[in-house]
Structure 1
Amino acid sequence: MKPVRTLLVSALFLLILLAAFVWLYPHMPARVPTHWNAQGRVNGYMSPLGAVATPMIVIAILAAITLLLPAISPRSYEITPFVSVFVLVMLAVQIFVLISALALLLNATGHAVRMPLICMLGTGVLWMVVGNYMGKLRKNFFIGIRTPWTLASDAAWERTHRMGGWLFMLAGAVVIAIALAGAPMLLMVGMMLCAALIPAIYSYALYRRLEARH
């Protein structure tokens, strides 16, 4: 799918969210729970309008980024060679925002929606989707594991992203499992940090090893 066509999909996401808000608004309280702490307790509120406007703005920004980045990427670092993968990942993030926002609105109107569980499951699925496509990313400045060592070496970029893809998929599966088991959100945060830091450290060690061969 071309980046321009994703604007139609993003517009559909916005219409779905707006329609849900109009339908649920009469049943919403003056203050809508919008944030939960690591123990699953509410610690942040917004007005109903703010609760729907925030995710809509995020989706709109993501849609604009999806269209803009392929056009401004510099030579030798173009997104164009893997633009279909880039588009799929950006749409996956928008779907995550959409589902989280719909769950939040339903929770605000008294429906039995466990927001921490929804967020953990959504995060796990998103990380698995990103991990599945990570190995197809090519060197660029905007998306992927962009360390000084992956940007300096095509081989380091490719091998780091292959390893990172498997690690992201594993981390996503573990997050889903611990969410269903009722484990605290702090475990999810720990898994995400590991999945992000290990590939970065690996890229440095790999680059040094590759350089030593020359």
Structure 2
Amino acid sequence: MKNKKTIIITSVLCMLPEILSVILYKRLPEQIPVHWNSAGEINGYLPKAMAAFGMPFVFLLLNFLASIRLLYDPRWRGQSRALRVIGIWMVPLISLVMIPATLLMSLGVKFPIMSFSFYLTGIVLIITGNYLPKSRRNYVMGVRLPWTLDNPDNWNKTNRLAGHMMVAGGLLLLVSGYLHLTAAFHGVSVLIFIVVLIVVIPTIYSFALYKKEQDTGKL
């Protein structure tokens, strides 16, 4: 019952921007900017009907999928309580902030979308990185690989490394957002670069631990 109530509340929050969409609809341009490149330039649009009324349903679907995975994980006791809360409420928060910001920007309201994205992602990474090493094996959060799920020592070491990298990456994003340094290495987004490193390096490290254990067992 508690899980169902949480899903209902978060779903309602995801749909609240529909109210603003109804209020602003006649004033919105026919094409709404919804995507920006690493330089902060608009490179993606949606028809206003899709942007105003379709985007909340996209967040609704994302919220439903995220909530089902988090709330009905057979190993939910292994989840960090703090990360569980963040995971449940993150999608509704983004919906409540980003959809109104997108609609208002289409009407000429100034909003530092790139800096805000960097700040939000940086804060989430820092918080996640602090709590990630405290998560025990589960099927939703953490570095979930065949080797980490099979071996608690591999899980702990890999997620500890990933946590440190998330904190470092989050701090770098905060600095980049403040200095408006959104691109690095020939235009590649700083955000994408950091995310790739956070994914790739712990994966390689985890596999190396697994191979070391296998080789040791053969001796």
Q: 1:22 is matched with which residue? A: 22
Moved segments of 4+, more than 6 Å: none
Structure 2 gaps of 5+ residues are: 184-188
Q: Shift of the alpha carbon at 1:42?
A: 1.1
Kindly indicate whether residue 97 of structure 2 is the aligned counterpart of residue 99 of structure 1: yes
Task: Kindly provide the CA deviation profile for residues 83-127 of structure 1, in whole angstroms up to 9, marking residues without a partner as x.
Answer: 744343232244234322222112112101132222222222222
* 3-state SS, counterpart of residue 39 of structure 1: coil
> Among residues 76, 79, 83, which one is paired with 1:79 in the alignment?
76
Q: Shift of the alpha carbon at 1:150?
A: 0.9
Q: 2:197 is matched with which residue? A: 194
Q: 1:45 is matched with which residue? A: 45
2:129, 2:203 → 1: CA distance?
A: 15
The TM-score with structure 2 as length reference comes to: 0.82
**What is the number of residues matched between the two proteins?**
210
2:118 maps to a residue whose letter is M
Contact 1:100–1:119, Cα closer than 8 Å, also in 2? no
2:136 maps to a residue whose letter is R
> Among residues 205, 209, 218, which one is paired with 1:206 in the alignment?
209
The TM-score with structure 1 as length reference comes to: 0.83
Contact 2:11–2:92, Cα closer than 8 Å, also in 1? no
Change (3 A) 1:116 1:139: same
Q: Shift of the alpha carbon at 1:12?
A: 3.9
1:55 maps to a residue whose letter is M
Change (3 A) 1:94 1:126: farther
After superposing the two structures, state which structure 1 stretch, 36-45 or 78-87, moved more. Answer: 78-87
2:215, 2:50 → 1: CA distance?
A: 54
Q: 1:172 is matched with which residue? A: 170
Q: What's the Cα RMSD here?
A: 2.5
Aligned pairs for 1:135-146 within 5 A = 135-146=133-144
* 3-state SS, counterpart of residue 50 of structure 1: helix
1:57, 1:83 → 2: CA distance?
A: 28
Aligned pairs for 1:101-120 within 5 A = 101-120=99-118
1:26, 1:146 → 2: CA distance?
A: 46
Q: Shift of the alpha carbon at 1:70?
A: 5.2
* 3-state SS, counterpart of residue 34 of structure 2: strand
* 3-state SS, counterpart of residue 16 of structure 2: helix
After superposing the two structures, state which structure 1 stretch, 84-93 or 97-106, moved more. Answer: 84-93
Aligned pairs for 1:55-74 within 5 A = 55-69=55-69, 73=73
* 3-state SS, counterpart of residue 32 of structure 1: strand
